[in-house]
Each structure stands twice: as structure tokens, then as C-alpha cells.
Structure 1
């Protein structure tokens, strides 16, 4: 693929030169819009239902809601977020390839300021809007780490992405190995108790036994705990905040540093490589996009369907999952499954875009992509106000299929709002605020205002 578009080629220079608001790469915006709207397909489940109630659909595999949750899992879960991360990686290169800013500050300084403000917005989304699956905080941190990678060749970036993906896969396997070790220790203790019912367990043996029993209990359906979860989420803001606090701490701290970091780094590096090859800027041949669409979707979906039974077994019977498996197939394959499918979906979208049909749709998706930052936080605001108790309080009150009616409504709102807003303004409201904070001065907002040279990362 490197021969298709080398870093020294005229096409590559055109793809990464600093762009004005009127010189955007439209396909990048379209793909960003698709990824942003696609993310809601998965996040709506966490906005509107308890995790336990969603898992109950897997434990009782029949009916339309089971097939719906299965199809969403196989086709989209993690894939749209992976594509979003890839596009953010591409945006990093767009920003850093500016020769010099008009603010008097060097581009690296501006980039660091931009990322730090993104971290602030992420904290607001997680701790203020109460969305514990926020990704802005993570993107802000990871983007700073990836600063030194901008000068690497696309092939080297791809190697780095694969290496980090393997580390992520390895960490997921290591987690499973620790679970299996706990199960084996539990088995040894129970075997000892069966052999001698009067045996007095040591403190270490008691800990081994309770550790496994606590793990299994935490994965079983508890109707009382599920109902209490719903009651808390339908309460006032302070109650919801306190209830979400442990989840938010876990996602912003321990989960991110153990697993999420490797996930995001691998996808952003892959996005940087693909951007340097001209993938996102629609510069590959139709034959190449066709090959990537078919190959990416077939390989990725084959992995997804192959690992589905393993994924469901971990929910239905965790003890059997640990005791009968030597390899957590679903988790080990996941980093690569999502990359293949994300590239496949992106290639399919670019092929459809290249056909020239449905110009109105591409214009609308491009508008959503231009305002991705605003629309991402808008999804948090709309969903929390609709489902949480300090809003309309529909949390836990809707069937799974009904959630996707809400998704369709939010999509429509964001498509129309983005188109209407960009008729008057050059930036989304939060894109404008973020850029103004980054540059340390008010940026032009109206289309009639004179604009300094700007380059989008998230917007």
C-alpha cells in the first residue's frame, strides 16, 4: 500500500497541507460523521439500561431483542469507536503538519494546549454530564503521547499499531490467566474441604476461596441490585452523581491505564498510517477500496462470529468459561477484529461516496463530522436528560428495540442541526470554544468573518 501514496509524493503533500475552513477534506468529515453516529448504537445501551439487564438478553437467547443486541455487538460494538480513534489520529497529523501558527506560538505548543483543553472537556463530560464512558479525557492524554510519532513512515506507524495491538491483546489474555489462577486456587481449597470436612482453612486459603466466589457472584444477575441501580439512576442529580462515581473513577483511571490506553494508541497509530497512505482523503483506487472493504469486513466479521459463543459463555456461565477455556478467544481477537471491520466499513463508505449518488446524505454526514466535538457532547446531554432522573427519567423503562428509536431521533436532530448551524457559522459552538481556548483569543465564528489559517483535529 505504501507504493500507492508515498510521503514524498505530490498527492501526499496535498493530503496533509494546512487547510482552511474552506479547504477541508470532505471524506474525512463524512467518515467522522459516520463514526460519531455509529458510536451511539452501542452507547445508547449504557445510557438507557443497566448492564445487567442487557446481559439478561444474552442469558435468555430468544426473541427479537436478543438478536438485536447480538447483531449490534457483532457488527458495530468497538468498531465505530475504533474508526473514530483512527480519524483522531489522522487529525493529529493534520494539526502538526502546519508550518507555523498565526498566533505567535509554535505548533507543538498549540497542540499540547489543545490536548490539555480536551482533557478538561472530557472531565466535564464524565463528571458534569455524568457519562462514565467518556473518551475525550482519554484522547487528550493519548494525543500528547503520540506527538513524537508524527515523523514516522506509514509502514513504521503500521508496525507500531500492530505491536501495541498485540500488547493490548496480551494484557487481555493476562487478565484471563489471573482469573484462571484464582479458579484453580479455589478448586484446591474446595477439594481439601471435600476430603476433610473438619479441616480448618488458613487465612490465605480463605482469601483464595472468597476471591473466586466474589468474582462469580459479581457476574451473576442480581435482581435486587439491578432494581436498586434503576432507582438510583432515576433520582436527582446528586444521587445519580454519587451512583456513577465508582464507574467514572474506574473508567478514567484503572481501566484506562490497564487496557484503554493500549486500545486507543493502537487505533490512533493505525489512523496516522492510513492517513499518510491517503486512505481517508479518498486517494486510493476504487479497486483498492473494494479490496479493503471486502477483505476487512469478511475477516473482521469472521473473527466476530467465531468468538461470539466465547463472549456469550463468559456472561452466561463464568465458571464454565474459565474452567473450559485455555484462551479467551473473544478478548484476544477483539483488537484486530475491530481494526479490520473499521477499515472495511470506512472503505465501503468511501466507495459509496465515490459513486456520486446521495449528495444530500454526504453533505449532512460531513456537517455532523465537522461538528463532531459538539455532536459528541450533545449526545451525552440529550441522552442523560432523557434517561436520568433529573431529566425525563426513562432509565430502565424501555425495551432494547425502543432505544434504537431514540437513536434514530437523535441522528435526525444532529443531521438537521449540523446542516442548519453551518449555514451561518464556520464552526460548531464547542469547536469554536475549544479553538478559542487553544489559541488564547476569540476565533472568527460567522462565515462572514475573516478567518486565520486553521486545521481541524476533532472538528
Structure 2
């Protein structure tokens, strides 16, 4: 890649985001097929030996390691967007707040109307927290990220054994979900999703989780802001040495930690290894992808496909929900719990390939996807989805010399 910047966009970031969406679809396919809790109770779906092996493999190399990449990229894009707003003499606080509010609205509609595995709501809420960090020095952000990562892993120590009552409740919940999701109407599925809780958590515990959750999510967002501030990924050829070292350290370390957690689930340290490994592997994937992309031509069909999906990531993410719930839920084809993990993986590849082709064709005519266009219109309060032209350029010392 001789030239990464395309306008205000950084192509390698779009390509990484596009590849990340493939990993997220593969991970989410387990939830689409078996439910949020059913994926952890696979034995109730009579899996084949190949399904069991595939499940272990996906838990190591995919599950929990692609969503953190999206968090990193969200932080990265937030810093770039704020800088763009400041250069146009626009108030970044108001514009970004509107953006976060729309993400919250989209997340609520997504989770209430379609599916229980939404992430947009959490991103919208986290956006307001990130406003406190977006002007900090990269060193400060990295230190905070490391401290919170260690805290997050430490809180995962120990293993909580389920009581017989809790195990029975979970088994009953999964058995019911198989009937409802596989053969229920839209109304029946929605009612089940809203009213049934196999964990039977008290309201007080839910409130505590809501306050603690941002601390668990924050590190990767902070690393992304720091990376944008340091202008990593602006020139991949020049940065290959960094990519090589980071990939060589983070990728095997993350895979090792997650493998230990998966092979020794009864160990009190399994949660620590799983939490730390998921984040380390995510960072390893980011640098490994950047390294590979730095060797590919900007005319590469593969790069262009990933880049296109990345530019329309929100539209494609929501469409994946529409497609998969239609395939697996009772008001569609009712494949819930029926096709197996291997076929689910192959189906994810097929869906993503179709999305990549259609997205590439769409972006030849339009600059944005439909959801991205709506988000831009609301962010900038502009019908054409573009920020208002400024009459003067304001220099913000915090952009290049963060405090």
C-alpha cells in the first residue's frame, strides 16, 4: 500500500474493521444458532464429535477476540473524528454526543426488535465515558488501559460452581428456548427474550453490573485512542517492524492463554487466562492484519472487499442480524439448533462473501451505507451528511500535543 489515506479515511483501518466483522459474524453465529445461554450448553443440542471439536477451536481463536478489535477501532475512529470536527471549527462535544445518542437508539431498537446480542447500545454509552479520555496523552491512555486490563483479569480469578437448582434452571431455560426460537412466532420470541432470565439475577446485582461493565470494556477503547494519537497504521510499510514485533509477541501469547483456559476450564485461573488471552489475541490480530495488508497491493481484490465491508460495518452488522434471525428463528426457516457448528461456520463465510460483493457494488455508486448516512446526517445535523463548511480553521493544541 503506497497510499493509505483516502480523503479523511485510513484504508488499512477500514480493511481491519471489515475483517473483524467476519470474525464477529462467526462468533455471533453460535448465538444465532443456540442462543445467548444455549451456546454454553451445547450438550443439549446433541452435537457431533466434529461440532464439539469445532466449538473448542472457535472459542480459542474467535470467541472473545474480535469484539475487542471493534472496541479498539471505535476508540481510534473517535479520536480521528474529533480531530476532523475541530479542524472544521465545529464543537466536537455536541456532534459526538449526538452520534452516541443515535448509537444508543439504534442499539435499543436492535435489541428490542431483533436480537439479544446487540453491541451498539454499549458503544453509545461508552462513547460518553471516552470523552473524558480523548484528549489525554497516549502514555496516560496506555497506562490506564494496562491497569484496567490487569484489574479485569484479576476479577476473573476463581470459579463459581453452579448449584443443582441453578443447573436445572439453565437446562430448562435452554430446552424452552429450543422450542420458542425454533418454532415460535415473532411475538412469542420477543416475549421470551424480554421475560425469561435463567440467571435469576436480583435488580441490585443488575445495577452493579451496569456500573462495573464500563471498566471491563474501557481498555481496548483507550488503546485505540492512543494508537490514533500516535498515528499508527497511517503508513503500514514504514511501520512493519512494529507490526512484526507486536504480532510475534501478542499472537502466540493470546492463543496460549486462551488454549489453557479452554483445556482447563475447572482451574481457578481459567477466567484470568481467558480474559487476558482474549485481549492479547485481539491486539495480535490487529497488528498481524496490518502486517499482511502492508504487503498487499491497494488494488488487491481481498483488500478492497474487506475495506468495503469496513466502510459499511454498521449496515452490514445489522443486516447480519436480519439475515440470521430469519434463517434460524421460527418466524423464518426455523433452523435454530439444527445445522451444527461446522455448517454454521460455512454459512457465516457465505453470508459474509455475499455482503462483501454487494457492499463493493453499492460503494461504487454511493459514498456511504444507509445506516452510516443516517448517522452522519444526525451527527452533523446536515441533510447531505457532511459537516458544515467553516469560515476559519481553529488550531487545537490538544490534537498534536495532548495534555
Report the TM-score when normalising by structure 1.
0.75
Distance verdict in 2 for CA 1:61–1:121, change over 3 Å:
closer
Distance verdict in 2 for CA 1:79–1:259, change over 3 Å:
farther
Aligned ranges 1:345-384 → 2 under 5 Å:
345-357=285-297, 359-384=300-325
The match for 2:156 is 172
Secondary structure of 2:383 counterpart: coil
Distance verdict in 2 for CA 1:101–1:119, change over 3 Å:
farther
1:229 aligned to 154, 172, 177, which one? Answer: 177
1:267 aligned to 216, 220, 224, which one? Answer: 220
What CA deviation, in whole Å up to 9, does each residue of 1:63-96 have, x standing for no partner?
Answer: 2111111111101111110111100010110111
The match for 1:245 is 194
CA contact (8 A) 1:31 1:346 kept: yes
CA contact (8 A) 2:99 2:379 kept: yes
Q: Find out whether 1:74 has 2:60 as its counterpart.
A: yes
Distance 1:379 1:370 in 2: 15
Distance 2:325 2:146 in 1: 36
Comparing 259-268 and 425-434, the one that deviates more: 259-268
Which residues of structure 2 form unaligned runs of 5+? Answer: 391-403
Secondary structure of 1:150 counterpart: coil
What CA deviation, in whole Å up to 9, does each residue of 1:267-300 have, x standing for no partner?
Answer: 1012112222333334553222111111111111
What is the RMSD of the two structures over their aligned residues, measured on CA atoms? 3.0
The match for 2:253 is 299
How big is the shift at 1:55?
3.1
Aligned ranges 1:336-415 → 2 under 5 Å:
336-357=276-297, 359-415=300-356
How big is the shift at 1:246?
4.4
The match for 1:160 is 144
How big is the shift at 1:107?
1.4
Q: How many residues align?
A: 378
CA contact (8 A) 1:168 1:259 kept: no
What CA deviation, in whole Å up to 9, does each residue of 1:317-360 have, x standing for no partner?
Answer: xxxxxxxx5xx322223332122211211122111111125711
Which residues of structure 1 form unaligned runs of 5+? Answer: 1-13, 184-211, 314-324, 445-449, 455-459
CA contact (8 A) 1:154 1:274 kept: yes
Report the TM-score when normalising by structure 2.
0.85
Q: Find out whether 1:279 has 2:232 as its counterpart.
A: yes
What CA deviation, in whole Å up to 9, does each residue of 1:237-279 have, x standing for no partner?
Answer: 11000111147998xx658626542232111012112222333
The match for 1:23 is 8
Which protein is richer in helix relative to its size?
1
How big is the shift at 1:216?
4.2
Q: Find out whether 1:123 has 2:74 as its counterpart.
A: no
Distance 2:372 2:239 in 1: 33
Q: Find out whether 1:217 has 2:201 as its counterpart.
A: no
Distance verdict in 2 for CA 1:61–1:99, change over 3 Å:
closer
Aligned ranges 1:67-216 → 2 under 5 Å:
67-100=53-86, 106-129=91-114, 131-173=115-157, 176=158, 179=160, 212-216=163-167
Could you say which structure has the larger radius of gyration? 1
Distance 1:379 1:415 in 2: 12
What CA deviation, in whole Å up to 9, does each residue of 1:88-145 have, x standing for no partner?
Answer: 010110111135476x85111100111011100000110012x211110000001111
Distance 1:80 1:247 in 2: 28
